[in-house]
Amino acid sequence: MQIFRISISMRGSILLLFLLAPSVSVVHAGILERGRVLLICHRTANRDSPENTLESLDLAARMGCNIVEVDVRRTLDGQLVLNHDDYLERLTGGMGDVELTSSDELGLLDTGAWMGQRFSQMRIPLFEQALELARERGIGLALDLKSKGIAPLVLAALEREGMLERVTFGGEWDDVPPLYPDANRDPVASVEPGVDAGHVASLHREGNFVVANFSANSHEMDLPAMRAAVAAGVDAISVDYPRLGADAVGRPVEARLAVLARQASSGSIPLRIEAIRELSHYPGFPTRRFFEHWLRDPDDRISRAAAVALVIARPQPPIQVFIDALAAPQKTARQNAAWAIGMLGAPATASLLSLLSDKDPEVLKEALLALSRCPGEVPADRLRPFLGSEIPTVRGAAALALARHQPAVAARAIQDLLARDEQGSAREYAQYVSRGKPRLTQQEIDPIVENYREQMKLIQALALLSPKDALHSLAAQAFRSAEDPSGVTALVAGYQLWDRIAVDPGIAIRALDSSDNLVADRAEWILVQAGPPVLPALREALNSADQSARQRLIRILAWQCDSESLPALRKLQESDSQDAALIDWAIDKI
């Protein structure tokens, strides 16, 4: 989050590029407010819901965030959308670049399932949709502009939506000041965890708005450090985990949920329905038992409101026109017909197999990708040869298809391919480090990007394996303590464990003892998001764990609001004074 990562020593020209909106001017007074600690969320609620989606932006606002960062990029047809790194591979089932794809096509791609099936069917939103939502929720936005030269489009959208005075600018925003001189006028100082009150006071005397950063560092889940920063007098904390941030600034989300649950349980029907609808917008919280209860309410309107929160229905368009186009002489027709069949998940496997002999790699890639999405039977010997392709994206698509149709064969083949690629990436990264990390040429960057695209598909392929193979293969990726040049492979694998780890919670519980803080943090949040099925194993592990792991177990039980753990926590409270404060907090939260 570039806006909030300006070191004090770098104030000057760099600060002028990334500072926030004014805290004292009349024009921008709505963004930076003194008198209470603001909660700033990096890249929407990205640790709880797929980043840069309307659902994730909405969740950040509902959890009490005052300012939320979003990434803005231009599509092939000139539309502004929310997207961070341009690659469709990481966030969707597609392949390619956001900026080379039309907004209509992007609207068909699922940008939620990469983070787990519970989020499937989310979409890449238009920038104006995000502005409208932010205005409705009364929050400010920190705009990280990813495409060059989009200031006129961005400013026009802000004017239309009445949000010009509710945003700040970062990223590729050089062309904003000539059109909007009031942008980013006042100084902001970003400080790291551990800042003391004296330092904060000194920065305040210099006129700075002080933001403590708990995003993209080893303190992302450091709730005590967040509280310490608030106590030191910072004006805001910037977080990746807004639920923790809300707790740190004294506005816990659980308190609001308790009020809504009471409103939904009694009173007038319209107010009860509104409370149920509001609760349905808090994914990742232990509210399902309430919906199951209200589903049995004697009033049909209440029962329907509970059911609507859980049900999505979509019609499937006709497919025959695309099947016919698979035999067309034009390469574009074959490629895009294959893409369409795959997106629709149609039973057209036999027709798609005819494209596996196509000489065009783009047609081949789309055929393999489509096969990975369609029901039917594809022999392993028709797919395995493509794992040896010289084109990384073809290998990735082939791995997905093999995992879908021949999971027993795919389990070993994909792990071997992933291990080979990771070893190659590690060697190349070591060489890059030994050269002093020089600026790479585009010719050097291109193959790295292609390998990255493949690795994301390999992780997705692991998620398609049998439950046992998927669990152990994904866990091996999520909990490995190794240099990851991409920075996301282990993280994505970890997200895929949220809905799988209940089969064997011990895998994640053991990872809580990891000496690698990032691995232990990942294991902790996996167990938080895994829900009630893992709670018995967590309670059992509480008494035998060492202090570090025990502290994490206590936090997990608290975040899951596990009332059945209260007797064990109270007993532990009597015998362990070291964790007394933590246990007090956990009991209070539950």
- Helices 54-62 & 127-137 angle (0-180, nearest 10): 20
Measure the CA–CA gap between 479 and 517, rounded to whole angstroms.
11
Strand ranges for 126-235 from DSSP E? 140-145, 167-171, 188-191, 209-214
The alpha helices in 482-531, defined as continuous H runs, are 489-495, 506-511, 517-529
- Residue 308: pLDDT above 60? no
pLDDT at site 111: 96
- How far is the first Cα of the chain from the last one, in angstroms, to the nearest whole number? 32
Query: Per residue in 336-358, is it b (16+ CB within 10 Å) or e — as a string?
Result: bbbbbbbbbebebbebbbebbeb
Distance CA 522, CA 291 (A): 28
Residue 18: pLDDT band with limits 50, 70, 90: very low
Angle between the 442-462 and 407-434 helix axes, to the nearest 10 degrees?
150
Q: Above 50 in pLDDT, residue 149?
A: yes
DSSP letter at 314 equals -
What's residue 304's pLDDT? 62
Helix (H) or strand (E) holding 68: strand 67-74
Q: How far is Cα 30 from Cα 47, in angstroms, rounded to an integer?
A: 27
319: confidence class by pLDDT, cuts 50, 70, 90? low
Residue % of the chain over a pLDDT of 90: 68
Question: Which has the minimum average pLDDT: 6-15, 204-213, 218-227, 294-303?
Answer: 6-15
User: Residue 309 gets which letter from DSSP?
Assistant: T
Residues β-bridged to residue 214: 239
Whole-number pLDDT of residue 295: 62
Neighbours of 579 (CB within 10 A): 18
The rounded mean pLDDT for the chain is 88
| 82 three-class SS | strand
Place of tokens 């603001």: 38
Q: What is the dihedral of CA 75, 79, 84, 89, to 10 degrees?
A: -40
**Tokens read off for 361:** 């790699």
pLDDT digits (tens, 9 = 90+) for 499-530: 999 999 999 999 999 999 999 999 999 999 99
CA 336 to CA 139: how far, in whole Å? 40
Q: Strands 140-145, 209-214: parallel, antiparallel or unpaired by DSSP? A: unpaired
pLDDT of residue 303: 75
pLDDT of the residue at 94: 94
Could you please report the per-residue DSSP string of 445-464?
A: HHHHHHHHHHHHHHHHHHTT
276-292: string of b/e by CB count within 10 Å (b at 16+)? bebbbebebbbbeebbe
Nearest Cα neighbor of 190 from 199, 179, 182, 181 is 199
Q: Which of 20-34, 163-177, 279-293, 372-386 has the lowest mean pLDDT?
A: 20-34
- How many whole angstroms separate alpha carbon 149 and alpha carbon 74? 10
Task: Note the pLDDT tens digit of each residue in 101-141.
Answer: 999 999 999 999 999 988 999 999 999 999 999 999 999 99
Both tokens assigned to 69: 């960062």
The percent of residues above 70 in pLDDT, for the chain, comes to 91
Sign (positive or negative) of CA dihedral 83, 87, 93, 99: positive
CB 402 within 8 A of CB 409: yes
**Averaged over 348-376, what is the pLDDT?**
93
Q: With cut-offs at 50, 70 and 90, classify the pLDDT of residue 307.
A: low
In angstroms, how far is CA 133 from the centroid of its own chain? 19
- The pLDDT of residue 373 is above 70: yes
pLDDT at residue 427 greater than cutoff 50? yes
Q: Residue 42 corresponds to which amino acid?
A: H
Residue environment code for 296-307, b if the CB has 16+ CB neighbours within 10 A, otherwise e: ebeeeebebbbe
Mean pLDDT of 410-437: 85
pLDDT surpasses 50 at 212: yes
**What pLDDT was estimated at residue 488?**
82
Q: Of 289-303, 401-415, 566-580, where does mean pLDDT reach its minimum?
A: 289-303
pLDDT value of position 429: 82
- pLDDT > 60? residue 8: no
Using the predicted structure, report yes or no on whether residue 3 has a pLDDT greater than 50: no
- Rounded to whole angstroms, how far apart are CA atoms 554 and 61? 27
Residue 292 pLDDT level (bands cut at 50, 70, 90):
low
Q: Which residue has the tokens 């027993």?
A: 408
Sign, CA dihedral 446-451-455-457, equals positive
Each residue of 234-269: pLDDT tens digit?
Answer: 999 999 999 999 999 999 999 999 999 999 999 999
C-alpha to C-alpha distance for 22 and 389, rounded to whole angstroms? 54
